[in-house]
């Protein structure tokens, strides 16, 4: 294996806790719109959390255990080893403490999962994501359907309690005709590309959309719930209903 290939693998191993922390932070429904990054982009975005985690891990090992992390050996491994002696010394050091290194890595990855989750909970708890646009999560549909968008600092609406979300959805059928569907929002799903895929309605009803015909009444659709696919939807009207 070439020095470059080994160095690349080692760097990936080092930044993996940061990748895990970032994935944990973005694992909620508010972050379901998660674009597929290239490996190099994932590594770049994970450098800072990785440095923070390794910084804490380094001093935890230094202060609370009888061991010490050999930064010189790590530096040799990252920059590439040339001499046989350096290679032997570095890998001998790894071999002597292989279990401790493995345990450190497992603990650090576990901390990464927990810290990413707790940071997301903290931001949601104090509503930093609604106060600061830069901290806002990417799935705006969750903000719309939960009413949290009303807490945005630039929103003109005042937040109020509600019991359910009622939707009016204009759908274009295969023959070009338009139908208006009504119902209570039960669930929605996102596509693998991070876009809205479908909406589930409870107690659905529909009518043909005719703007000038006021006598065109709704008729109920007998079902447990109705699924509408976003590709057929022209627009959505959202209402928050207080019983």
* Residue entry with tokens 């959202």: 238
Mean predicted lDDT score pLDDT of the chain: 82
- Residues linked to residue 183 through DSSP beta bridges, in sequence order: 167
Nearest CA-CA partner of 113 in 13, 34, 23? 23
CA dihedral sign, ordered 193, 196, 202, 204:
negative
Q: What backbone phi and psi angles, to 5 degrees, belong to 227?
A: -105, 125
> Could you tell me the two tokens for 116?
């990413």
Structure tokens of 158?
């005042």
- Contact of 197 with 227, CB cutoff 8 Å: no
Per-residue pLDDT reduced to its tens digit, 92-146: 777 777 888 889 999 999 999 999 999 999 998 888 888 888 888 888 888 888 8
**pTM reported for the whole predicted model:** 0.71
Whole-number Å distance between alpha carbons of 26 and 28: 6
* HSE of 118, CA atoms in CB hemisphere, 13 A: 6
Q: Where are the beta strands (DSSP E) in the chain?
A: 164-172, 178-190, 196-208, 219-220, 226-229, 233-241
Q: Which domains does the chain have, with CATH numbers?
A: 3-125 (no CATH), 130-159 (no CATH), 162-241 (2.30.30.100)
Model confidence pLDDT, tens digit, residues 157-215: 777 788 999 999 999 988 888 899 999 999 998 887 778 899 999 999 988 887 655 66
The yes-or-no verdict on residue 81 having pLDDT over 70 is no
């Amino acid at each position: 294996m070439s020095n470059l290939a080994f160095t690349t693998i080692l760097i990936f191993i080092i930044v993996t806790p940061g990748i895990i922390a970032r994935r944990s932070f973005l694992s909620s429904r508010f972050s379901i719109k998660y674009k597929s990054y290239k490996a190099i982009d994932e590594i770049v975005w994970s450098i800072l959390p990785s440095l923070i985690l390794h910084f804490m891990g380094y001093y935890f090992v230094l202060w609370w255990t009888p061991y010490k992390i050999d930064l010189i050996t790590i530096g040799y491994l990252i920059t590439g080893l040339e001499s046989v002696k350096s290679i032997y010394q570095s890998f001998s050091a790894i071999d002597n403490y292989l279990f401790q290194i493995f345990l450190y890595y497992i603990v650090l990855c576990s901390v990464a999962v927990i810290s990413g989750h707790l940071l997301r909970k903290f931001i949601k708890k104090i509503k930093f994501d609604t106060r600061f646009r830069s901290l806002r999560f990417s799935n705006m549909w969750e903000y719309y359907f939960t009413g949290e968008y009303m807490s945005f600092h630039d929103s003109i609406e005042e937040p109020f309690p509600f019991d359910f979300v009622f939707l009016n959805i204009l759908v274009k059928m295969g023959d070009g005709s338009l139908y208006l569907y009504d119902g209570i929002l039960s669930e929605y799903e996102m596509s693998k590309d991070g876009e809205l895929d479908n909406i589930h309605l409870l107690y659905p009803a529909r009518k043909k959309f005719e703007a000038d015909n006021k006598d065109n009444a709704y008729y109920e659709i007998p079902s447990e719930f109705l699924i509408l696919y976003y590709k057929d939807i022209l627009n959505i009207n959202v209402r928050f209903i207080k019983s």
